Amino acid sequence: MKIKAFAFDMDGTLLPASDSSSPHPETVKALREAHKAGYKLILATGRPFVHTLPTALEIGCVSYMVSNNGSNVYDLEHKKFLNHNSIDIEIFNRVFEVAKETNSFFALHTKKNVYRHYFFDQKNKPSWLDTSVHENIKDETIEQVKQFAIDEDITQLSLKNSEEVIAKWQEKLSKEMKEVSIHVANEVYLDVNPLNTSKLTGLELVAQNEDFTTEQIMAFGDSGNDIQMVGGVGYGVAMGNSNENLKTIADEVIGHHSTDTIGKKIREVISCSNK
């Protein structure tokens, strides 16, 4: 099996800290070496397009962005989207209702924008809220968020709350809403995406566009929304900080995301291919 592309989750995987948009410096060097050697580099994340692009531009040689858990697949080299998936307004109304009922952080994602609303007093921030992740997003009123949901195509709906609340509503909504895909990231995020949409389906589109197969992709991840991707490509890599479910299905477990472990693995692959 000859690897032709590397795919990376961002938070908890490629990025060394939640408040950073920059990979480890040694990993950035390795990514550029891989690009020079002919490999395609793909960011595959639950983040929206607008929060994925800065990292892609900083690295400087990323070919594709699979954002919003596969709802948006963007070809950076040709500056075009490869897909167009959206969520019905009825689903928005139900998830928005759940966010209100559970006093959650809520985010509405459209193709190139993200809008947020806090259903709690921000003066008393809950322990599960990492505000650095939500920087550069303008707070919207309930009425504004509802209007954006009508005016723009919805690519993802996100709730953030405690692990207990998210686990409960993942189970409940998965049974209730069969017309969408539901993913959980880092135990405290619940993402609702168009049906049959995942990071893996995004990688399948990339592979089709490049005329290779997902068997020729090496993917790195750490969380629940990486399971399909890591288990479905040719070689799946779990980070040392991954949850146990992901480690079980991965082909290999490497070091912690705060180190240059990804850079080392990339260089290992390049070195082996040159022998």
pLDDT digits (tens, 9 = 90+) for 67-83: 999 999 999 999 999 99
Rounded to whole angstroms, the Cα distance separating 30 from 133 reads 25
Whole-number pLDDT of residue 125: 75
Mean pLDDT for the stretch of residues 162-175: 95
List the domains of the chain with CATH numbers: 5-83+197-274 (3.40.50.1000), 89-194 (3.30.1240.10)
Whole-number pLDDT of residue 150: 96
Whole-number pLDDT of residue 197: 94
Mean pLDDT for the stretch of residues 2-29: 92
Rounded to whole angstroms, the Cα distance separating 181 from 213 reads 23
Phi, psi (rounded to 5 degrees) for 17: -150, 155
Question: How would residue 17 be classed by pLDDT, with cut points 50, 70 and 90?
Answer: confident
DSSP character at residue 82? S
Whole-number pLDDT of residue 79: 96
Question: How would residue 111 be classed by pLDDT, with cut points 50, 70 and 90?
Answer: confident
Whole-number pLDDT of residue 120: 85
20 pLDDT above the threshold of 90: no
Rounded to whole angstroms, the Cα distance separating 20 from 135 reads 11
135 pLDDT above the threshold of 70: no
Cβ neighbours of residue 147 closer than 8 Å, sequence gap 6 or more: none
Alpha-carbon dihedral 22, 125, 182, 83, rounded to 10 degrees? -40
Cβ neighbours of residue 112 closer than 8 Å, sequence gap 6 or more: 49, 50
Give the dihedral sign, CA 46/48/50/53.
Answer: positive
Most distant CA pair in the chain, distance: 60
Whole-number pLDDT of residue 123: 72
199 pLDDT above the threshold of 60: yes
For the chain, give the percent of residues with pLDDT over 70. 96
Mean pLDDT for the stretch of residues 208-219: 98
